[in-house]
Amino acid sequence: MSKKQKVEAITAMNTDFSQWYTDVILKTEMVDYAPVKGFMVIREYGYGLWENIQSAFDKEFKRTGHKNMYFPLLIPESFLTKEKEHVEGFAPEVAWVTHGGENKLGERLCIRPTSETIICSMYAKWLTSYRQLPFLYNQWCNVVRWEKTTRPFLRTSEFLWQEGHTLHETEGEARNETQQMLEIYRKVCEDFLAIPMVAGQKSEKEKFAGAEETYTIEALMHDGQALQSGTSHYLGQNFAKAFDITYLGRENIEEYPYSTSWGVSTRLIGGIIMVHGDDNGLVLPPKIAPIQAVILPIAMHKEGVLDKANDIFDQLKNAFRMELDDSDNSPGWKFNQWEMKGVPVRIEIGPKDIENNQCVMARRDTSEKIIVSLTQVKETLESLLNDIQHNMYQKALKMRESKTSFAENMEQFKKELNENPGFIKAGWCGCRECEDKIKEETGATLRCIPFEQNVEKETLTCVHCGKKADKIAYFARAY
Amino acid sequence: MSKKQKVEAITAMNTDFSQWYTDVILKTEMVDYAPVKGFMVIREYGYGLWENIQSAFDKEFKRTGHKNMYFPLLIPESFLTKEKEHVEGFAPEVAWVTHGGENKLGERLCIRPTSETIICSMYAKWLTSYRQLPFLYNQWCNVVRWEKTTRPFLRTSEFLWQEGHTLHETEGEARNETQQMLEIYRKVCEDFLAIPMVAGQKSEKEKFAGAEETYTIEALMHDGQALQSGTSHYLGQNFAKAFDITYLGRENIEEYPYSTSWGVSTRLIGGIIMVHGDDNGLVLPPKIAPIQAVILPIAMHKEGVLDKANDIFDQLKNAFRMELDDSDNSPGWKFNQWEMKGVPVRIEIGPKDIENNQCVMARRDTSEKIIVSLTQVKETLESLLNDIQHNMYQKALKMRESKTSFAENMEQFKKELNENPGFIKAGWCGCRECEDKIKEETGATLRCIPFEQNVEKETLTCVHCGKKADKIAYFARAY
């Protein structure tokens, strides 16, 4: 297969979305399959993206007073079983370590699927007085969940994430923290990843194992499926009681703190791909793109071209994440290659441009080309990148809105889901039975009860049972 | 125990160095013991230090063209066994995963003790042509080695590190890479951690399992024991052949690449503590200290004091990593606390200072205090931090030099090691038998054959067998 063909061999989205996704992630070398089934290798282009995502979140965590720590990978089986709902949720999908070197272990250890249990065991040791509260800690790490069906980034047996774990003196403070972190997730996803989010609460059925309440941000992919993109849990005193975390309170009596936990993961990379990508490959938001602009010299062998390309590169390299492609591949191949990689701006410079003291900037998001004076390169690129960032968000928002329908009854629900797959907004009575039946009949799950309830409540009825409903919920098929 | 006592309860170094170390790391809350024996929790103060260390190294890796990736945590047993020396070195100390969820796995998986095998299996898939070379990749991750005797940071069953893995077309390029990365390690350790290093080659006995040659940087601790601080391995074609990594070379024939690997870990934190610390606790180098200066308001209740302290904090907070301690602990307790935490500069401001438009800056490294005009706070702090960084390195260098002796024979060797524990420089004939015997008789291991061989070679004899020696080696008891 020639290089050119290799670039072009992305399955069209409409032909087979799933194959499109696989083509894009493999051909752009974001990720590869690991030797152990269900595991992935995050390659330099995917990891570069992850580093920028991490940095955006980490700044917000630190700005709001959180510090990073590192807790151990392995958790004793007896810890996992301390919180009843938690163990039921996670035990079926953990990997077990039974031997260290040649020796069988006295107690099995599980590889953390999430770290509430091990962290709570340490918090119990550290916390003695209300004066120490709140505990505001986070860790960036790998976790393992033994998944049966996996797809790179979206669902893998190992993934990278951050997990925040906090303790508070009062229920109110813990609830505020839960909301604050969800809001940070929403804001970073919208401002940096350019993905509009629906924020809201999970149903009892869908909440985190061991939580009182789970809040979520949900995004909509090009194929109309939803992606849970980040969750924030109000844990009440469940884990504090299970792990006997107590402290001497203001009234000089022993009290249990209230706790929260919250996480986002490499799954977000899958979201970026499926929200912004097109038939030519990736489209990456400038703020987090590993390469923000690539310079392509045209007729590179002609005198002065490469020098001028290097000049431009030198002007820009300290202000932007730049690449200069002076490889000996053909210009056509290079265009396709960097387009597929989703680099926001391509800068072309050839002999004619040099004569006219100009270059050409091409936007990845709109394919629009503009001619730029060589004295204006830096300012123009900066404003272009801002424009692209903004435009990508607006485009994604429109896409989501066009794929969001309202259904009054199950007939409408099924019709919409069939004809225009996406979010179905509908009244819901709040009972588990309706939620289960909707899933059974349509494959759609309850994504969240959104904070924004912009529907006339007086006349609202449950889309399934027809009884009075006091809230709407978002339903969708989901990754 | 009162708070004041708690601060003061660090065992003196000379009384019991090992207990001093334990006191310091626990009382400064750098680390704690995890529930599973041999594992550690890196707390915020230790992790903050690690983040700054990571950042210093990562910049150098990227400056020299390396990119980060992420490879899976779990390695199939069959991979580990492909390189004969490698499996012999690592199999006795790996943790084995035997079950995923409820199911027994078909093949055992080990938690990576290092990632040569899994990375080589991917490189074999990715590499096809010489045009792709070199491969210059690194990963930051956790690794597990089931250790019998552990100490936080220095030797733990899980630790954090980076491991670089590169492929090259020629032996010369791979050898250059091996040396370049060792030199980066030396430079970052000296410039940022303020720890002088002896750089050199490991003996056959001490080299990495599977390497052709291992290079090392070795530091000397306060108690005269050495700490291997970073290693860089020239792997030749050993792993390429074991994993069948081949590519079509310039001459159009299949070739094996040459590979290297190199790593530093959270062990460096132990080195920082044991090189710079004193009887009052930590002394942290300004360039990597999580907090570079702490402001202590004196007579905080007096009018204007806290306002002025906040003013100073606001002036400095964007240029330095600052803390303002306005807690209601006594000034004496605060002094001890921040001294123990090793914050490079303490800034005191009280009513008298405000009258005189001044503050007091106290250096952690020399205890020296200077009076600083409030108009000069920023410039003075900047130059103080530079001074401290420089002084700490010089002090550590002197300490090492005072603990480095030359021995011509075993009698001298033992005498020096006994009376002035530290590095023993000595001629070595190069044979394994002498190396083994020296260890047997003294507990000292061959740390490295240093690049700097500043000894008259004509008359050099092996410290053990007395035969002609063509090089000197450094010996020491080591962590």
Q: Rounded CA gap, A244 and A249, in Å?
A: 15
Closest by CA position to B423, among listed B405, B446, B396, B441: B405
CA distance B362 to chain A (A): 27
Burial of B326 (0-12, 13-18, 19+ CB in 10 A): middle
What is the complex's ipTM, to 2 decimals? 0.95
Q: A291 phi and psi, to 5 degrees?
A: -125, 120
Token representation of residue A129: 């007085």
Distance CA B111, CA B96 (A): 6
Q: What distance separates the 2 farthest-apart alpha carbons in chain A?
A: 82
B62: nearest CA partner in chain A: A48
Closest chain A residue to the Cα of B45, Cα to Cα: A69
- pLDDT for A457 equals 62
Cβ–Cβ under 8 Å, residues A206 and A446: yes
Contact A239, A161 (CB under 8 A): no
Q: What's the DSSP call for residue B322?
A: E
CB A117 within 8 A of CB A79: yes
Q: Please, are residues B223 and B216 in contact by the beta-carbon 8 Å criterion?
A: no
Q: Report which of A130, A195, A140, A119 is spatially closest to residue A168, judged by C-alpha positions.
A: A130
Q: How far is CA B24 from CA A71, A303, B127, B225, in A?
A: 20, 64, 48, 18
- Enter the DSSP assignment of B130: G
Nearest to A142 by CA among B53, B122, B142, B95: B142
Average pLDDT over residues B337-363: 97
Q: What angle do CA A265, A270, A273 make, to 5 degrees?
A: 140
Tokens representing residue B89 in the block: 């070195």
Query: Which DSSP symbol is given to B70?
Result: B
Q: How far apart, in whole angstroms, are the C-alpha atoms of residue A259 and residue B132?
A: 50
The CA-to-CA distance between both ends of chain B, in Å, stands at 33
For residue B305, pLDDT over 60 is answered with yes
Q: Write out residues 20-79 of B within 8 Å (CB-CB) of A.
A: 32, 34-36, 39-44, 47-48, 50-51, 67-76, 79
Indicate whether B458 pLDDT > 90: no
Q: How far apart are the first and last CA of chain A?
A: 33
pTM over 0.90: yes
Gap between the Cα atoms of B22 and B24, Å rounded: 5
Q: Mark yes or no for CB contact B94/A109 under 8 Å.
A: no
Instruction: For residues A181 and A164, give the distance between their C-alpha atoms in angstroms, rounded to a whole number.
Output: 9
Name the maximum alpha-carbon separation found in chain B. 82
Closest Cβ–Cβ partner in A71, A73, A92 for B101 = A92
Q: What's the burial of A63, exposed, middle or buried (CB within 10 Å: 0-12/13-18/19+)?
A: exposed
**Token digits of residue A298:** 């045209």
Residues of B in contact with A75 (CB under 8 A): 36
- Structural contact between residues A296 and A73, judged by C-beta atoms closer than 8 angstroms: no
Q: Is the peptide bond before A134 cis (omega within 30 degrees of 0)?
A: yes
Q: Which residues of B165-195 are buried (b: 16+ CB within 10 A; e: fewer)?
A: bbbbbeeebbbebbbbbbbbbbebbbebbbb
Q: Does B97 touch chain A (CB under 8 A)?
A: yes
Answer whether A159's CB lies under 8 Å from A105's CB. Answer: no
In B, which residues are within 8 Å of A118 by CB distance?
A: 34-35
Q: What share of chain B is helix, strand, coil (3-state, %, to 5)?
A: 35, 30, 35
- Written as one letter, the residue type at A210 is G
B19 — pLDDT class (breaks 50, 70, 90): very high
Q: Which residues of A touch B125 (CB under 8 A)?
A: 32
For B100, the closest chain A residue by CA position comes to A95
Residue A8 has a pLDDT of 59
Q: Which of B68, B73, B122 sits opposite A51 (nearest CB)?
A: B68
pLDDT of B5 strictly over 50 = no
| Kind of pairing between the strands at A103-111 and A95-100 | antiparallel
Tally the C-alpha atoms within 13 A of residue A360's C-alpha that lie toward its C-beta.
16
pLDDT of residue B4: 44
| Interface check A99 vs B, CB under 8 A | yes
The continuous run of DSSP H or E covering A159 comes out as strand A158-168
Handedness of CA B119, B121, B125, B129 (dihedral sign): positive
pLDDT of res. A37: 93
CB contact under 8 A, B142 and A141: yes
Q: Is the peptide bond before B72 cis (omega within 30 degrees of 0)?
A: no
Across B62-77, average pLDDT: 97
The confidence score (pLDDT) of residue A7 equals 53
For range B26-38, the mean pLDDT:
96
Cβ–Cβ gap A67/B74 under 8 Å? no
Distance CA B168, CA B159 (A): 29
Give kind and range of the element (H or E) at residue B185: helix B171-191
Residues in chain A: 479
Which residue, B20, B45, B42, is CA-closest to B31? Answer: B42
Helix or strand holding residue B187 (H, E): helix B171-191
Q: Tell me the count of A-B CB pairs closer than 8 A.
A: 146
Between CA A40 and CA A439 the distance in angstroms is 30
DSSP character at residue B84? H
| Pick from A32, A67, A92: CB nearest B102 | A92
Residues near A228 by Cβ (< 8 Å), separated by ≥ 6? A216, A217, A218, A447, A478, A479
A93 Cα distance to chain centroid: 22
Pairing relationship of beta strands A445-450 and A471-476 according to DSSP bridges: antiparallel
Distance between CA atoms of residues A94 and A113, nearest Å: 6
CA angle, residues B158, B161, B165, in degrees to nearest 5: 125
Alpha-carbon distances of A53 from A193, A196, B303, rounded to whole Å:
8, 16, 45
- Which DSSP letter does residue B344 get? S
Alpha helices (runs of H) in B135-170, residue ranges in sequence order = none
Other beta carbons within 10 angstroms of residue B419's beta carbon come to: 8
Round to whole Å and give the CA distance between B147 and A100. 9
B56: pLDDT confidence band, cut at 50, 70 and 90? very high
Closest by CA position to B27, among listed B40, B14, B13, B46: B46
What are the two backbone dihedrals, phi and then psi, of residue A181, each rounded to the nearest 5 degrees?
-70, -35
Q: Token pair 């004196």 is at which residue?
A: B298
- pLDDT per residue of chain A (479 residues) written in tens, 0 to 9: 444 444 558 999 999 999 999 999 999 999 999 999 999 999 999 999 999 999 999 999 999 999 999 999 999 999 988 888 888 888 889 999 999 988 999 999 999 999 999 999 999 999 999 999 999 999 999 999 999 899 999 999 999 999 999 999 999 999 999 999 999 999 999 999 999 999 999 999 999 989 999 999 999 999 999 999 999 999 999 999 999 999 999 999 999 999 999 999 999 999 999 999 999 999 999 999 999 999 999 999 999 999 999 999 999 999 999 999 999 899 899 999 999 999 999 999 999 999 999 999 999 999 999 999 999 999 999 999 999 999 999 999 999 999 999 999 999 999 999 999 999 999 999 999 999 999 999 999 999 999 999 876 678 999 999 999 989 999 999 99
Task: Tell me how far apart the alpha carbons of residues B38 and B32 are, in angstroms, rounded to a whole number.
Answer: 11
CA–CA min distance A192, chain B (Å): 21
Using DSSP bridges, classify how beta strands A31-33 and A322-324 pair: parallel, antiparallel or unpaired: unpaired
* Angle (nearest 5°) at CA A349 between A348 and A354: 155
**Residue type at B257 in one-letter notation:** P
Instruction: Identify all chain B residues contacting A72, using CB atoms and an 8 Å cutoff.
Output: 34-36, 39-41, 158
Residues of B with Cβ-Cβ distance to A128 under 8 angstroms:
none
What is residue A254's three-state secondary structure?
strand
Q: Is A144 helix (H, G, I), strand (E, B) or coil?
A: strand
Secondary structure percentages of chain A, helix, strand, coil, to 5: 35, 30, 35
Is residue B242 helix, strand or coil?
A: helix
Looking at residue A456, the DSSP 8-state letter turns out to be: -
Report the Cα A58 to chain-centroid distance in Å.
14
pLDDT at position B388 over 80: yes
Strand partners, B227: B219
Q: Determine how many CB atoms are found less than 10 A away from the CB of residue B394.
A: 11
DSSP assignment of A457-476: STT-B-TTT-SB-SEEEEEE
Q: Cis before residue B134, ω within 30 degrees of 0?
A: yes
